[in-house]
């Protein structure tokens, strides 16, 4: 083995081991407390499970679960800047914040009522 290769090999191994130690599955495994209808919204940096109904034309009732399956309960959301509910075809989740749910196509549901404390 050449001297050049011998000195570059340990940093390469260290880099590979470090990357493997930081690996997280995406999306994470669904906790048993999260309904099967909930979808993961987020990325490798975090997110949560979300499920929304489209039973009302005025608002969506959504529940957000963290990766451990904890929830504050359902809350009402409306589409930002249009104050209506998202329809079923628009409920394609992309991200979560403390008070908003991102949807594909640049849409965003914003919370309009506090969650009910069910869990």
Q: Please report the beta strands in 24-65, taking only residues with DSSP state E, as ranges in sequence order.
A: 39-43, 46-52, 60-65
Domain extent listing, the chain: 3-111
- State residue 62 phi and psi, 5-degree precision: -125, 145
Interacting residues of 22 by C-beta distance below 8 A, sequence separation 6+: none
| Structural element, H or E, at residue 10 | helix 3-21
pLDDT at 112: 95
Stretch 6-30: mean pLDDT: 61
Characterise 46 by phi-psi region: left (phi > 0), alpha (psi -120 to 50), beta (else).
left
- Alpha carbon dihedral 101, 102, 107, 109, in 10-degree steps, equals 0
pLDDT digits (tens, 9 = 90+) for 55-101: 999 999 999 999 999 999 999 999 999 989 999 999 999 999 988 99
């Amino acid at each position: 083995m050449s001297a050049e290769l011998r000195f570059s090999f340990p940093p390469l191994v260290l880099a590979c081991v470090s990357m493997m130690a930081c690996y997280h599955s995406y999306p994470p495994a669904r906790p048993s407390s999260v309904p099967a209808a909930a979808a993961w919204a987020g990325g490798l940096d975090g997110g949560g499970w979300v499920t929304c109904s489209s039973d009302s034309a005025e608002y969506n009732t959504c529940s957000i679960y963290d990766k451990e399956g904890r929830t504050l309960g359902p809350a009402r959301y409306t589409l930002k800047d249009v104050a209506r509910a998202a329809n079923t075809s628009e409920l394609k989740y992309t991200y979560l914040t403390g008070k908003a749910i991102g949807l594909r196509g640049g849409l965003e549901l914003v919370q309009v009522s506090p969650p009910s404390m069910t869990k």
